[in-house]
Amino acid sequence: MAGIPIAPRALQDFVARHGGAIKNGGPPADKRASVRPSARPLEQEVARRLASVKTAGAGELAPLFASRYVGEALAALSRGALLLIDDALASREDVAALPGWFHPHAAWALAELLDAADAPSDDPTIGEDCRIGRGVVLMPRVRIGARVTIGPGAIIGDAGFGFALGPGGKSRPIPHLGGVIIEDDVHIGALSTIAAGTLGPTIIRRGAKLDAQVHVAHNCEIGENTVIAAQCGLAGSVVVGRDVMMGGQVGVADHLTIGDGARVAAKSGVIGDVAPGSTVAGYPAVERQRWLRGLAELYRLASSHANSSAPPSSGHLRGAGYVSSMPSPVSTVPPAAPLPTGVRPEAIIRRNDPPPDQGGE
């Protein structure tokens, strides 16, 4: 899907209208930072569309709001793109070397540009042999492939949750004009929500299966044949690889990547990238066996504390890193019963928390 059309203007005109400053960059930390196909001064470069930093090319203006996308910004510059850079990143040497439009409230400026954008508001398109449940809402710029099933009450393509902070702490919603692409043979469960992307689309790849009440935020991409159980929530710009399995009620923080073939146990909180083929569990989500060992150790410490004749002083649970504000002699919590003879903590944990590939939620 192409970028968002805007009225063609020289970069200096955007600065005059929306604030900020044009900087041609310092000594480049990376030689690619100075690669610009046009010989015109940066101020005279004309932007005709808004696009993601991952896809922007000649004549397209792309926002750079996070340091993890500096490499993609360099590639975009080599394709002739123009950058709208948040001032908060300018302290980084590699960012300060980039030529572009620097703005103290870059997200606010982007929201203003999107408000005035001339994006086509196409009706949603639906492929052959689809089954659309009662009460489903399909917003403009939604494209659905063949043999897709969407359960009752699902909402596809509504605006994502994005607000720009401006001068004086004011906030304004960021328009989401990128739409949603759902490829062939996808299943979307009842009451699920898939938000529209900001500049590029939110994408659900071929064969993916989403259970009921799954939330997919703006600009996420879910890979082929991935299975996501009920009540999972993916924050913005999460990339999920192919053949991934997620148990129920998993939460994934924004801008993360979950590699191909990974497994995420139910109720996990993912706050870092997940390697391909790995199995993670817990909060924060770590390698599953490591998480089970940690739980077993906590259970052992709690049992040891409960069976101790002298409670630890000052409410400290020895070795567990826990400090209570209650005086140690005062307790309304009954002591934990000791484990039955011959039963290991790991066995109890495994019985109550089956891995996602066994259907656990």
Report residue 177's pLDDT band, with 50, 70 and 90 as the boundaries: confident
CATH fold of 125-287 reads UDP N-Acetylglucosamine Acyltransferase; domain 1 (2.160.10)
pLDDT greater than 80 at residue 97: yes
- Average pLDDT of the chain, as a whole number: 82
349-214-275 Cα angle (round to 5)? 60
φ, ψ of residue 326 in degrees (nearest 5): -85, 145
* C-alpha to C-alpha distance for 81 and 77, rounded to whole angstroms: 5
Write b or e for each residue in 69-78: b if 16 or more Cβ atoms lie within 10 A of its Cβ, otherwise e.
bbebbbbbbe
Dihedral of CA atoms 29, 31, 32, 37 in degrees, nearest 10, equals 130
pLDDT greater than 70 at residue 29: no
Stated pTM of the model: 0.76
| Confidence at residue 65, expressed as pLDDT on a 0 to 100 scale | 86
111 or 137: which carries more pLDDT confidence?
137
* C-alpha to C-alpha distance for 252 and 77, rounded to whole angstroms: 31
> What is the average per-residue pLDDT within 241-249?
98
259 or 34: which carries more pLDDT confidence?
259
| Confidence at residue 319, expressed as pLDDT on a 0 to 100 scale | 41
Report residue 167's pLDDT band, with 50, 70 and 90 as the boundaries: confident
CATH number assigned to the domain with residue range 4-115, chosen from the 4 options 3.50.50.60, 2.40.110.10, 3.30.70.1290, 3.40.1390.10: 3.40.1390.10
| Confidence at residue 88, expressed as pLDDT on a 0 to 100 scale | 87
CB of 58 within 8 A of CB of 81?
A: yes
Determine which of 14-28, 30-44, 202-216, 250-264 has the lowest per-residue pLDDT on average.
30-44
> What is the average per-residue pLDDT within 15-40?
67
Which of 29-33, 233-237, 341-345 is the most confident on average?
233-237
Is there a catalytic annotation at residue 218?
yes
| Confidence at residue 310, expressed as pLDDT on a 0 to 100 scale | 52
pLDDT greater than 70 at residue 113: yes
Q: Which residues are registered as beta bridge partners of 323?
A: 316
| Confidence at residue 121, expressed as pLDDT on a 0 to 100 scale | 65
319 or 225: which carries more pLDDT confidence?
225
| Confidence at residue 320, expressed as pLDDT on a 0 to 100 scale | 41
Q: Length of the chain, please?
A: 361
> What is the average per-residue pLDDT within 145-159?
97
CB of 248 within 8 A of CB of 227?
A: no
246 or 342: which carries more pLDDT confidence?
246
CB of 108 within 8 A of CB of 17?
A: no
Report residue 170's pLDDT band, with 50, 70 and 90 as the boundaries: confident
CB of 360 within 8 A of CB of 354?
A: yes
CB of 227 within 8 A of CB of 209?
A: yes
> What is the average per-residue pLDDT within 206-210?
98
Q: What is the DSSP track for 92-108?
A: SHHHHTS-EEEETTHHH
The boundaries of every CATH 2.160.10.10 domain in the chain are 125-287
> What is the average per-residue pLDDT within 191-204?
95
Rounded to an integer, what is the distance from CA 60 to the centroid of its chain? 24
Determine which of 55-59, 243-247, 333-337 has the lowest per-residue pLDDT on average.
333-337
Place of tokens 């950058």: 83
> What is the average per-residue pLDDT within 110-125?
78
Determine which of 98-107, 119-128, 189-198 has the lowest per-residue pLDDT on average.
119-128
Catalytic one of 218, 255, 305, 316: 218
The boundaries of every CATH 3.40.1390.10 domain in the chain are 4-115
| Confidence at residue 2, expressed as pLDDT on a 0 to 100 scale | 67
Report residue 171's pLDDT band, with 50, 70 and 90 as the boundaries: confident
Distances (CA, A) of 34 to 9, 86, 95, 198, 301: 22, 19, 12, 28, 58
